Chains A and B, each alone.
Chain A
Amino acid sequence: MRIQAEHLSYVYNEKSPFAARALNDVTLTVEEGEFFGIIGHTGSGKSTFIQHLNGLIRIPSSLKKRKKYKSDTVLRVGDFDLASPKTDFRALRRSVGMVFQYPEYQLFAETVFDDVAFGYKNFAAEKPRKEELEDAVRSAIEMVGLDYAAVNDLSPFDLSGGQKRRAAIAGVIVTKPEVLVLDEPAAGLDPLGKQEIMQLLHRIHREWCKTVIIVSHDMDEISENCTRAAVFSEGTVKYVLPPAELFVHTDELRELGLDIPLTAKICEALRRRGIEISCDFTADDLVRKLLARREGIC
């Protein structure tokens, strides 16, 4: 499913002294099949944007309220027109899975099985047969790299930190959404845990969810994993580029208070020493290009 937003704006707490413009004329397209990154500070509008994608924040449909949206506002996710009041939001949420920050804090059921099954049962048109439910839950739990037989009867609160997060992700992908959106999926994990989660997301992207969107502060994570990334700042989109082109703008990114990936820092330091390296800012590519330029045995 292609995601297409045009001239999307949003204001929180309108008419109160705390009114805050969270999105200002955002235009952004995410193609089907992408592993898309969203970068920005807290308050840059990125959370507001992703919550639009499955209708948790809606474009008000009444005419009176519509004035604050420019009339040319477009928000489409596949065939769903989110600007239309007739949208079937249940069907939309089934196709657009959303994993919030620290998803382990939304676990609630007595067993891991029940927790993962929760979403499946909610979205099923009629009560699913036992075998069908078990099949879906088993494959979701196995997909996130947990041992079904070992965990399905456990309380989710008895799992370790990393396992809890996996279980929570299983609870979202159990309906095999076409688009999976994750807000800071690796936050708070130790470095190895972070690497494992990113590997898991690639696996989900390959096998289950055609489009994956991650929100991240970690520029290395973005440069290593994403096909393209959007930079949000103060409610607007500053850049939408593949990492190879995005992280060339080191000064501009720093001005926005954002970090740049380690590979870009190394390239920058080399450039100051008179060495131009153009790479796509993945460690693989940088190492390959450096080795290709190796001279003698120094």
Chain B
Amino acid sequence: MKAVEFRDVSFSYGEGTFAIKNLNFSVEEGEFVAVLGHNGSGKSTLARLCNGLLVPDAGSIRVFDLPVGDKTLYDVRKRVGIVFQNPDNQTVASIVEDDVAFGAENIGLTREEIGRRIDFALHAVGMEEYRNATVARLSGGQKQRVAIAGVLALGPKMMILDESTAMLDPRGRREIMQVVKRLNEEEGITVLLITHFMEEALLASRAIVMNGGEIVMLGTPNEIFEKREELVKYRLALPRISRICSRLREGGMPVEYTLDYEILAEEIAKCVSKPSI
């Protein structure tokens, strides 16, 4: 089944220019897809279209075979959850447990079921110990994990992360990426990861590059990162490691392009002299 399917979708914020232009794309159930693009490339708009926070000007969107429209919003949002960028602006309640319960309460579950969902969601993001903690006292990464738990409590089949790591420090970023990967692999949740960190896109099975509201590149992360000139054209900076690879090659050391520093070290080791001891 297709988790999301866009057919000829266009959307404009009403300034004459299209934020999304004639877009066709789909995500299979269980997939992990990364969406890359510089600020203003239309990738956040794409996220908001997926669960009806924005309504397309033209074209149609289906989510798990359900057309996204006014009448289906409730069911669409139960299936597709979004985690946003700012960790401070997504929590409704002051206490972790109460906030995770919010979504589950909205869909009218029984108390017992809500309790079970909170247990499950907090466990899935590794925040069980913080059940009764005050949200304000958590770190950025922990707040985002609570936000993910809040979405999980709705029992979604798909999760969209709209630059959810952009405001976090490296440690928080790692925490979130681990959680997301586990949810995809163990719970079978479809993931659409919107990011401008190329390193994060590596976890995906497929990556999409957006520019000017259109999909301009499509493929596995490695395929995409090999087309370096093209990426630069779309205002995407190459990961630092790719730049080191290029410069080594330019200098005459024939290393393979890789995004894993262990592999790069292996490649380099083949080419440099070991000190004779």
- Chain A residues with CB under 8 Å of chain B are 41-42, 160-162, 187-195, 217-218, 220, 257, 259, 262-263, 265-266, 269-270, 272-276, 283, 286-287, 290-291, 293-298
Cross-chain contact A287 with B167 (CB below 8 angstroms): no
With CB as the reference atom, state the residue of chain B lying closest to A270. Answer: B265
A195 to chain B, nearest CB (A): 6
| Contacts between chains A and B (CB distance < 8 A), count | 102
- A162 CA / B39 CA spacing, docked (Å): 9
A to B CB contacts below 8 Å, 14 in the list: A42-B169, A160-B40, A190-B237, A191-B198, A220-B240, A265-B261, A269-B261, A270-B265, A272-B265, A273-B266, A275-B269, A275-B272, A297-B254, A298-B253
* Residue-wise interface mask of B (246-277) relative to A, using a CB-CB cutoff of 8 A (1 in contact, 0 not): 01100111100000011011101111111100
B237 to chain A, nearest CB (A): 3
- Chain B residues positioned under 8 Å from A195 (CB to CB): 237
| Given A262-B261, A295-B272; 6 other pairs, CB 8 A cutoff | A191-B197, A192-B235, A266-B261, A269-B261, A270-B269, A287-B244
Cross-chain contact B235 with A290 (CB below 8 angstroms): no
Cross-chain contact B237 with A192 (CB below 8 angstroms): yes
| The one of A41, A191, A291 that contacts B248, using a Cβ cutoff of 8 Å | A291
A295 to chain B, nearest CB (A): 4
Cross-chain contact B261 with A295 (CB below 8 angstroms): no
**Interface check B132, CB cutoff 8 A:** no
Cross-chain contact A269 with B262 (CB below 8 angstroms): yes
Interface residues of B in 178-222 (CB under 8 A from A): 196-198
Cross-chain contact B269 with A257 (CB below 8 angstroms): no
With CB as the reference atom, state the residue of chain B lying closest to A192. Answer: B237
- Chain B residues positioned under 8 Å from A290 (CB to CB): 248, 253, 268, 272
Q: A291 with B261: in contact, given A259-B170, A275-B272, A276-B275 (CB under 8 Å)? A: no
- A263 CA / B244 CA spacing, docked (Å): 9
| The one of B38, B252, B265, B266 that contacts A294, using a Cβ cutoff of 8 Å | B252
Cross-chain contact B237 with A191 (CB below 8 angstroms): yes
Number of B residues near A (Cβ < 8 Å) is: 39
- A265 CA / B241 CA spacing, docked (Å): 11
**Interface check B236, CB cutoff 8 A:** yes
**Interface check B139, CB cutoff 8 A:** yes
With CB as the reference atom, state the residue of chain A lying closest to B196. Answer: A190
**Interface check B171, CB cutoff 8 A:** yes
A269, A272, A286 pick with most chain B CB within 10 angstroms: A269
**Interface check B95, CB cutoff 8 A:** no
A44 to chain B, nearest CB (A): 11
- Chain B residues positioned under 8 Å from A190 (CB to CB): 38-39, 196, 235-237
Cross-chain contact A291 with B244 (CB below 8 angstroms): no
- A3 CA / B196 CA spacing, docked (Å): 37
**Interface check B116, CB cutoff 8 A:** no
- A259 CA / B237 CA spacing, docked (Å): 21
Cross-chain contact B167 with A269 (CB below 8 angstroms): no
- A263 CA / B192 CA spacing, docked (Å): 31
B89 to chain A, nearest CB (A): 13
**Interface check B243, CB cutoff 8 A:** yes
A56 to chain B, nearest CB (A): 22
B266 to chain A, nearest CB (A): 7
- Chain B residues positioned under 8 Å from A263 (CB to CB): 244
| The one of B38, B39, B241 that contacts A262, using a Cβ cutoff of 8 Å | B241
Q: A298 with B237: in contact, given A191-B197, A283-B243 (CB under 8 Å)? A: no
- Chain A residues positioned under 8 Å from B264 (CB to CB): 266, 269
- A194 CA / B272 CA spacing, docked (Å): 33
B52 to chain A, nearest CB (A): 26
Q: A41 with B171: in contact, given A195-B237, A273-B266, A290-B268 (CB under 8 Å)? A: yes
- Chain B residues positioned under 8 Å from A283 (CB to CB): 240, 243-244, 247
- A291 CA / B274 CA spacing, docked (Å): 13
- A169 CA / B95 CA spacing, docked (Å): 37
- A294 CA / B250 CA spacing, docked (Å): 13
**Interface check B140, CB cutoff 8 A:** yes
With CB as the reference atom, state the residue of chain A lying closest to B235. Answer: A192
- Chain B residues positioned under 8 Å from A297 (CB to CB): 254
